[in-house]
Structure 1
Amino acid sequence: MAGRPKIFDEHQAIEKATEVFRAKGYDASSADELLNAMGIGKGSFYHAFKGGKQELYVRSIEQFSEGFLSRFEQQLSSSDNEIELIKTFFLQLSQKPDCDRETGCYLGNALVQLSEKDIEAKHISGRLLKKLQQTFKKSIKKAQDTGQIKNAEDPEILAWHLTNLWNGLHVTRRMENSFKTLRSIIEMNLKVLD
């Protein structure tokens, strides 16, 4: 017997749970709040997410990251100047007080929390950051090949620098919300793309 069929859209339910996690964080999001947002009962929830709240959180991050990276890669591929787009992407982090889909700060914040949960969660965090790093690497390599940027450092290392910047900014924003300070940090780090 295969069990009861799903009577809800899993993708949409995860999206609704993501909004709760974005607003409250993992620890402060209660099971009742998540179930209410998703519009499903406990039985359906545990049938779809056997690992409970943590599995839902991991799947929320994975789903969000797929959408975030897909949108970012699409923006890069349709851009006339990928390096300027990357710079703008980072500079937006200094201006936005709240999380949004374009800067991916839910993902950045979640990866910090997720990496503290368990070893499997750390591997998921690492895999998602590696995808972001590979996206940066592709654009950097292209810009080096065309002479758009003069920095001849290994594009792999430059991409890790940007990934580290992106990841670190989500931690720094928790302590420092000065637009001027954050922008200065970002501009100094982006000099590697000159």
Structure 2
Amino acid sequence: MPRPREFEPEQVLDTAMREFWERGYRATSVADLVKATGVQPGSLYGAFAGGKRALFLASLERYSKLVVPEKLGALDDPGASLAEVRAYFDGLVRDLTTEEGRQGCLLVNSAVELAATDPEVAAVVRGHHARLRDAFTRALRVAARRGAIGPAVDVEGAARLLVATSQGLMVVGKVDPDRDTLEAIVHHAFAGLR
């Protein structure tokens, strides 16, 4: 008869997510996960069939459900407009200029580290990009109806540019978290919306 679990899988997942977020997939060993979670390898593998990789993929999913909505904030609201898009970018700049914020985004970090060679990670990241693109597109359509952006702005093209800008901003922020640099990137991205 198997022993009952002596840990909460969601707490273990939260801890593992933070480890992967801080170190990356390759640099996080099973020993690191055991030390951080306090759960022995056999129990980890029992709870997350597929071991470290399954735990990582579950961490990406958890990050998408818990952290991404917090970062999107009001941008995820149906009535979001240009102000909410700008608030999202201002939040990124604010985060990236803090020690904790320099960790960046688990999804962006995973894209840089693994997406070119791991189709499952690439699919998760593509889903994140689609989510951002859809939020930007909705908000820009509202902004266009309100006259907050220029009538000649290609809303779908601008939304794609904002996705690329947001992802690039997080990479730049890890290397050069200078507020002036980050704000200049955002300023020029928004200049094309007039």
**TM (normalized to structure 2)?**
0.82
- Looking at structure 2, the residues matched to 130 and 79 of structure 1 have their Cα atoms a distance apart, in angstroms, of 16
Q: Deviations over 1:96-131 (max 9, x none)?
A: 23344xx96233223322314412221221112111
Cα offset for 1:77?
A: 5.7
Q: Deviations over 1:24-52 (max 9, x none)?
A: 22222221221232232212211222222
Pick closer, same or farther for the CA change 1:76–1:173 going to 2, 3 Å.
closer
Structure 2 regions of 5+ residues with no counterpart? none
1:185 counterpart residue number: 185
- Alignment correspondent of 2:12: 13
Mapping of residues 1-194 of structure 1, within 5 Å: 6-72=5-71, 74-76=73-75, 82-95=81-94, 96-100=97-101, 105-194=105-194
State percent identity of aligned pairs: 28
Pair 137,43 (structure 1): closer, same or farther in 2 beyond 3 Å: same
Partner Cα distance (1:35, 1:168) in 2: 33
Q: Could you list the per-position Cα deviations for residues 39-75 of structure 1 after superposition, in whole angstroms to 9, with x for gaps in the alignment?
A: 3221221122222222222221221122233335552
Stretches of 4+ aligned residues off by more than 4 angstroms: 3-7, 77-81
Give the aligned residue type for 2:13: I
- Check whether the contact 1:99–1:106 (CA below 8 A) recurs between aligned residues: no
Q: 1:187 to 1:9 in 2, by over 3 A?
A: same
Q: Which amino acid aligns with 1:13?
A: V
1:158 Cα deviation from its structure 2 partner: 1.5
Counterpart code for 1:185:
I
Classify 1:143/1:5 alpha carbon distance in 2 versus 1 (closer, same or farther; 3 Å). Answer: farther
Contact 1:114 1:125 in 2 (8 A): no
1:67 alignment partner AA: L
Unmatched tracts of structure 1, length 5 or more: none
User: Number of residue pairs matched?
Assistant: 191
Give the secondary structure class of the aligned counterpart of 2:192: helix
